[in-house]
Chain A
Amino acid sequence: MTSPKQALAQPASSADAASGSQPGAARGAHGRGGPAGADSWRSRLYRWDMKASPYAFVAPFFVLFGAFSLVPLLYTAWYSLHDVQLSSLDHQTWAGLDNYKNLLSSDFFWNALQNTFSIGLISTVPQLLAAIWLAHLLNYKLRGSTVWRVVMLTPYATSVAAATLVFTLLYSWDGGMVNWVLHFFGVDPVNWRESDWGSQFAVSSIVIWRWTGYNALIYLAAMQAIPTDLYESAAIDGANRWQQFRHVTVPQLRPTILFTVVVSTIGATQLFGEPLLFGGVSGSKGGSEHQYQTLGLYMYDQGWIIGNLGKASAIAWSMFLILLIIAVINLVLTRRLRKTQ
């Protein structure tokens, strides 16, 4: 395994750099003779090292994270109140809430918001249900259990672009595998690229395909942590397998389910690569009628295809606000759930 080794080889130099102002510190390790007070210079250095090193260790993370995530977050808010055009980046004029007003009166914004929700819903719910089922199956004593797990996780290791290109071909109108199979079962071909629900389902299926195995492993880990005597006592009480699953497994998994719901929601809000590539040439529009234009696509389209970066900033901040609202709702629901139990 080379990557961890590279990672391990790196620290020496940069850790030195991080606290380079204490050249004698490393030597201190050898001089462990008498009590610390014997050498006041060394003990002072030691105490200083104790105090400063935690900050030195978190500093690189916070400096880089602040510079490239937190500060831009605020700048995006600033730009969202300005008129910033891609064609003339030097002319930024104050626009107040114009960009936001613009959004609220734009049908495309509401369309993108609605699409983000509906695609999020039809990709997250089946994905997590299938993942729980899969985890439940993988939790049995199996031959070659590791092989099964690796196979189920393979889609996760597929590149987004590659997966989407393949699914696009599978869903094509004529000659496409999906319609051909449907024809086998006597179902009329579906226009997966043009129809509203067809195209949204197609985009969702790519997400479901890539992430179900991943979530299954998370559930499996949580399932293996459930004490077996819970099942034993349930069995003594006469619970069958389904009742055990329903009354022991699911309640025990609740925190994990909550976690996956939150993470999948965040992922769904940011959905970008799949619909972009599924759309081909007019990808940023999300289909001829904007059938599957998500908020992520809408922002890219407004910012870099149309060239209105101020509006793109406003879209980004709207996404953030929506996520905050979801988080608050989530928090309230969790509290209430806990109280009722």
Chain B
Amino acid sequence: MTTSELTIPQAAKGTSDRRPGRRRVMGAGKQLHAGPVTYVVLVVFALVSLAPLVWTAVAASRTDRRLAETPPPLWFGGNLFKNLQAAWDQAGLGTAMFNSTLVAGAITVSTVLFSTLAGFAFAKLRFRFSGFLLLLTIGTMMIPPQLAVVPLYLWMSDLGWSNQLQTVILPSLVTAFGTFFMRQYLVQALPSELIEAARVDGASSIRIVWHVVFPAARPAMAVLGLLTFVFAWNDFLWPIIALNQQNPTVQVALNSLGTGYVPDQAVIMAGALLGTLPLLIAFLLFGKQIVGGIMQGAIKG
């Protein structure tokens, strides 16, 4: 398995106020300053990154007819709120947002909790078959979700759960990736001496988890939580099979907006804007943490 031979850059201890920017300044003596060309290229990359999002808002503020004309609009029009209202109503985005929040929230809490517990066991505890079980976990990270979809669909139909949210939540409650991620973090971030000391004091395993592991794992739990939330919010394949238009997640609702038979492009853009807004807000609030987390773990969700 290739994943096991990676050198994964680990977080230094006490990363709770980890700020990538800070760390760089410390070793900056040897670091080369960026020249003007670098800044120009970076500005181009930044524009490519941001322009489609900004233009979504521009298109959402126009009319369908205007969007079909050449040249395309480059600045805002006056229809934004009308289109947002229409998208909200047509796609049932109220229900969809509520559903997505519930689904992604439940998946995030469960994944973070169980990944931390299992990751801790793999990182610091000795038990039979632990090596084999960890290898199994890593090995299964490459199984595509497509491989579980048919049986899950049949089982959920049998249970009469088609079109209900637990159908979407249950299969995603844990991920192999999350467990591996927490294990990698805890191997270094949690000193074994701390656990030994707590053991000598006669602390039970539950107390150790509560008072030693969780505090030490906190930064990684936050990052895993954010990544899991983004991943769950964006999940497409299983929700589109398991849910219908009466009870959609945001992705399913947007899909129905895009496949409408009388597509109004401005309304679709308004829907796209609304559908990605919660993630963008979360990203604006926690962007630094997500960046720091990805750089720590060198991971992919």
| Chain A residues closer than 8 Å to B3, beta-carbon distance | 259, 262
CA distance A319 to B254 in the complex (A): 27
Q: How many A residues face the partner with a CB closer than 8 A?
A: 135
CA distance A312 to B199 in the complex (A): 52
Tell me the minimal C-beta distance from A297 to chain B in angstroms.
10
Number of A-B contacts (CB under 8 A): 408
Question: CB of B201 within 8 A of chain A?
Answer: yes
Q: Is the CB of B2 within 8 A of A262?
A: yes
Closest-by-CB residue of A relative to B52 is A166
Given contacts A154-B53, A323-B144, A26 and B118 within 8 Å (CB-CB): no
Interface 0/1 of A211-224, CB less than 8 Å to B: 00110011011101
Question: CB of B149 within 8 A of chain A?
Answer: yes
Q: Is the CB of B127 within 8 A of A140?
A: no
Given contacts A3-B229, A10-B109, A19-B206, A320 and B147 within 8 Å (CB-CB): yes
Q: Would you list which residues of chain B between 205 and 232 have a CB under 8 Å from chain A?
A: 205-207, 209-210, 214, 218, 221-222, 225-226, 229-230
Question: CB of B13 within 8 A of chain A?
Answer: no
Q: Is the CB of A76 within 8 A of B55?
A: no
Q: Is the CB of A158 within 8 A of B276?
A: yes
Closest-by-CB residue of A relative to B234 is A160
Closest-by-CB residue of A relative to B124 is A54
Q: Which of A117-125, A194-202, A327-335 contacts B (4 or more CB under 8 A)?
A: A327-335
Kindly state the interface size class of chain B when it binds its partner.
35 or more
Q: Is the CB of A64 within 8 A of B114?
A: yes
Q: Is the CB of A150 within 8 A of B275?
A: no
Q: Is the CB of B150 within 8 A of A303?
A: yes
Q: Is the CB of A153 within 8 A of B291?
A: yes
Q: Would you list which residues of chain A between 20 and 67 have a CB under 8 Å from chain B?
A: 22, 25-26, 28-29, 31-32, 36, 46, 49-51, 53-58, 60-62, 64-65
CA distance A25 to B49 in the complex (A): 53
Give the residue of B172, B222, B288, B290 whose beta carbon is less than 8 angstroms from that of A4: B222
Q: Return 9 A-B CB contacts under 8 Å, by A number.
A: A7-B225, A8-B218, A56-B205, A75-B151, A137-B41, A146-B19, A154-B280, A162-B271, A166-B52
